């Protein structure tokens, strides 16, 4: 295969600064993962190497400059994601991935889809009354559901938001926590509070909660209720039993929408309890108005190491599949 050289010039100085990153962190990382040699001369990027590797690197850099131009920011997560898309033979422009600003947070941050999976997830929420979002940590399942709930409230599509979580976490027992029942379950609901505070601001979120426009409740408190004109989110749904899942889904009233999020690889139920989120995929698949959106490690928008952690756990679990887990051995 023949040698090749290519050059890309970044005309806008601000775009160049964003592309290279603080102390050239973005550029150094990009150079470390590309097969071709990548160097810079001012705002010119020079790519040298085997023809195929130069072409791949050229396409990646152009896709990253597309992000810089449209978002005025670039992260290592963006670099990894676009690289993965190109490796799979996909070449969507950044504008084809993002779905426009969904909502602006209290701090003025524009919330948009960051991956193809997230875009499909947001579209599923718009198109269906019940959406199941299943995928690993860091894919934006809960945060984007809360964003869509606040958006629906602002647009007067619903009159209230109900955020629900099962009070089951990694072997912890409620009885060992101090305080009354509300004090005991509040730590389990904290991630929902964090999302609300980020999107609405603490003062507005607290005012909505004081007026019961927004409720954050443990799953056990849902029994017997019918929820009309509401946007309901069930978070950490992998920790529901089949009976609890059925109970939750049958709370849906007129004018309401429900989003159920969870990661089926992180079930914290007692060993003899089956996850309702796993079972419901078999029961409700194919029903019109109900959508299942599966997010993957490619949709992770946290620290780049999160993707590697997910990979490592998948490889480890595959290696012990069919054998006794070390945790089970005496």
Q: Are residues 107 and 159 in the same domain?
A: yes
pLDDT value of residue 240: 93
Q: Are residues 223 and 113 in the same domain?
A: yes
**Which of these three, 45, 69, 97, is where a domain ends?**
97
CB atoms within 10 A of CB 212: 9
pLDDT (tens digit per residue) in 300-327: 876 667 767 877 887 887 787 655 544 4
Q: Are residues 133 and 265 in the same domain?
A: yes
Q: Are residues 115 and 251 in the same domain?
A: yes
Q: How many domains does the chain have?
A: 2
**246 near 203, Cβ under 8 Å?**
no
* 190 belongs to a structural domain: yes
pLDDT value of residue 94: 57
pLDDT value of residue 312: 84
Q: Are residues 74 and 109 in the same domain?
A: no
* 324 belongs to a structural domain: no
pLDDT value of residue 203: 94
Q: Are residues 273 and 291 in the same domain?
A: yes
Q: Where are the beta strands (DSSP E) in the chain?
A: 3-9, 37-41, 44-50, 103-104, 110-111, 130-134, 160-165, 214-218, 230-234, 257-262, 290-294
Q: Are residues 148 and 168 in the same domain?
A: yes
pLDDT (tens digit per residue) in 52-79: 999 999 989 988 998 888 778 888 888 8
CATH code of 161's domain: 3.40.50.300
Q: Are residues 142 and 71 in the same domain?
A: no
* 222 belongs to a structural domain: yes
Is pLDDT at 226 greater than 80 in this prediction? yes
* 22 belongs to a structural domain: yes
Pick the residue with more confidence: 287 or 314? 287
What does the alpha-carbon distance between residue 329 and residue 322 come to, in Å, rounded to a whole number?
14
Lowest mean pLDDT among 91-100, 166-175, 189-198, 255-264: 166-175
**Which of these three, 97, 130, 146, is where a domain ends?**
97
pLDDT (tens digit per residue) in 134-153: 999 889 999 999 999 999 99
* 325 belongs to a structural domain: no
- The DSSP secondary structure of 36-98, one letter per residue, reads SEEEEETTEEEEEEEHHHHHHHHHHHHHHHHHHHHHS---HHHHHHHHHHHHTT----HHHH-
**Which of these three, 97, 120, 136, is where a domain ends?**
97
Q: Are residues 118 and 59 in the same domain?
A: no
Q: Are residues 30 and 118 in the same domain?
A: no
* 249 belongs to a structural domain: yes
pLDDT value of residue 325: 46
Q: Are residues 69 and 156 in the same domain?
A: no
Structural domain that includes position 208:
103-301+310-319
Q: Are residues 109 and 78 in the same domain?
A: no
Burial per residue of 32-63, b for 16 or more beta-carbon CB atoms within 10 angstroms, e otherwise: eebebebebeebebebbbeeebbebbbebbeb
pLDDT value of residue 38: 93
CATH code of 47's domain: 3.30.1370.10
* 328 belongs to a structural domain: no
* 64 belongs to a structural domain: yes
């Amino acid at each position: 295969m023949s040698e090749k050289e290519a050059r890309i010039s970044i005309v806008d100085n601000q775009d160049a600064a964003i592309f290279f990153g603080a102390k050239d962190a973005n550029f150094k990382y990009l150079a470390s993962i590309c097969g071709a040699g990548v160097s810079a001369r001012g705002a010119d990027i020079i790519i040298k190497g085997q023809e195929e590797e130069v072409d791949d690197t050229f396409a990646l850099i152009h896709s990253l400059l597309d992000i810089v131009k449209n978002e005025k920011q670039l992260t290592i997560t963006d670099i990894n994601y676009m690289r993965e898309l190109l490796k799979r033979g996909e070449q969507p422009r950044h504008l084809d991935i993002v779905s426009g600003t969904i909502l602006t947070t209290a701090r003025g941050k524009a919330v948009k889809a960051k991956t193809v999976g997230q875009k499909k997830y947001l579209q599923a929420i718009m198109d269906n009354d019940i959406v199941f979002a299943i995928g690993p940590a860091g894919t934006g399942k809960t945060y984007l559901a809360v964003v869509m709930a606040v958006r629906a409230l602002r647009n007067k599509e619903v009159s209230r938001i109900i955020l629900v979580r099962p009070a089951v976490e990694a072997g912890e027992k409620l009885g060992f926590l101090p305080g009354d029942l509300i004090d005991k379950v509040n730590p389990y609901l904290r991630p929902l509070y964090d999302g609300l505070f980020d999107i609405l601001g603490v003062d507005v979120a607290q005012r909505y909660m004081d007026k019961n426009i927004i409720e954050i409740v443990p799953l056990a408190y849902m029994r017997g209720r019918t929820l009309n004109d509401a946007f309901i989110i069930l978070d950490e749904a992998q920790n529901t039993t089949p009976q609890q899942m059925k109970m939750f889904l049958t709370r849906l009233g007129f004018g309401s929408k429900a989003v159920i999020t969870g990661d089926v690889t992180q079930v914290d139920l007692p060993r003899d309890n089956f996850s309702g989120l796993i079972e419901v995929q078999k029961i409700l698949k194919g029903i019109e108005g109900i959508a299942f959106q599966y997010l993957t490690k490619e949709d992770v928008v946290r620290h780049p190491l999160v993707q590697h952690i997910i990979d490592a756990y998948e490889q480890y679990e595959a290696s012990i599949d069919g054998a006794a887990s070390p945790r089970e051995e005496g």
